[in-house]
Amino acid sequence: MYHPLRKTNTFTVSDIADFKNKVLHWAQSFDEIVWLDSNGHEDRYGAFDALLAVDGLTSLVTDVQNAFSDLKEYQEGIHDWIFGYLSYDLKNDIELLSSKNFDGLHFPELYFFQPKKIIRITGNTIDFIYLNMVGDEIDADFGTISRRKLPKKGGIQAANDIRIKLRTFKDDYFKRVAELLAHIHRGDIYEANFCQEFYAENTIIDSLRTYRKLNAISKAPFATFLKFQDKFLLSASPERYLKKKGNRIVSQPIKGTAKRATDPKMDAGLRSALKKDAKERAENIMIVDLVRNDLSKSAIKGSVRIEELCEVYSFEQVHQMISTVTAEVAENKNPVDIIRETFPMGSMTGAPKISAMRIIEVLEAFKRGLYSGAVGYFTPKGDFDFNVVIRSILYNASEKYVSYAVGGAITAKSVPEREYEECLLKAKAMREVLEG
Q: What is the pLDDT of residue 297?
A: 97
Which pLDDT tens digit goes with each residue over 311-366? 999 998 899 999 999 999 999 999 999 999 999 999 999 999 999 999 999 999 99
In our burial notation (b when 16+ CB lie closer than 10 A, e otherwise), range 143-172 reads eebbeeeeeeeeebebbeebebeebbeeee
Provide the percentage of residues in the chain whose pLDDT is more than 90.
94
pLDDT band at 156 (very low <50, low <70, confident <90, very high): very low
- The pLDDT of 378-397, averaged and rounded, is 97
DSSP letter, residue 333: -
- Whole-number Å distance between alpha carbons of 20 and 50: 8
195 pLDDT higher than 80:
yes
- The pLDDT of 424-430, averaged and rounded, is 92
- The pLDDT of 389-414, averaged and rounded, is 96
Q: What is the pLDDT of residue 155?
A: 45
- Whole-number Å distance between alpha carbons of 227 and 34: 7
- The yes-or-no answer on residue 153 being catalytic is no
Pick the more confident residue, 150 or 361. Answer: 361
- The pLDDT of 32-39, averaged and rounded, is 98
State the burial class of residue 333 (Cβ atoms within 10 Å of its Cβ: 0-12, 13-18, 19+): middle
Asked whether the whole model's pTM tops 0.85, one would answer yes
CA 270, chain centre distance (Å) = 26
Pick the more confident residue, 81 or 159. Answer: 81
- Whole-number Å distance between alpha carbons of 262 and 280: 23
Pairing relationship of beta strands 318-328 and 248-252 according to DSSP bridges: antiparallel
Q: What is the pLDDT of residue 347?
A: 93
Q: What is the pLDDT of residue 152?
A: 73
- The yes-or-no answer on residue 239 being catalytic is yes
Phi (first) and psi of residue 374, to 5 degrees: -150, 145
Catalytic annotation, pick one of 32, 109, 197, 239: 239
69 pLDDT higher than 80:
yes
Catalytic annotation, pick one of 255, 353, 367, 426: 255
Provide the percentage of residues in the chain whose pLDDT is more than 70.
97
- Whole-number Å distance between alpha carbons of 389 and 392: 7
Q: What is the pLDDT of residue 2?
A: 56
- The pLDDT of 96-104, averaged and rounded, is 96
- The pLDDT of 275-293, averaged and rounded, is 94
Q: Which 3 state secondary structure label does DSSP give 215?
A: helix
- CA-closest candidate to residue 210, choices 429, 12, 369: 429
Contact 363, 334 (CB under 8 A): no
Q: Map out the domains of the chain with their CATH numbers.
A: 6-435 (3.60.120.10)
- The pLDDT of 262-266, averaged and rounded, is 95
Contact 61, 70 (CB under 8 A): no
The mean pLDDT of the chain is: 95
157 pLDDT higher than 70:
no
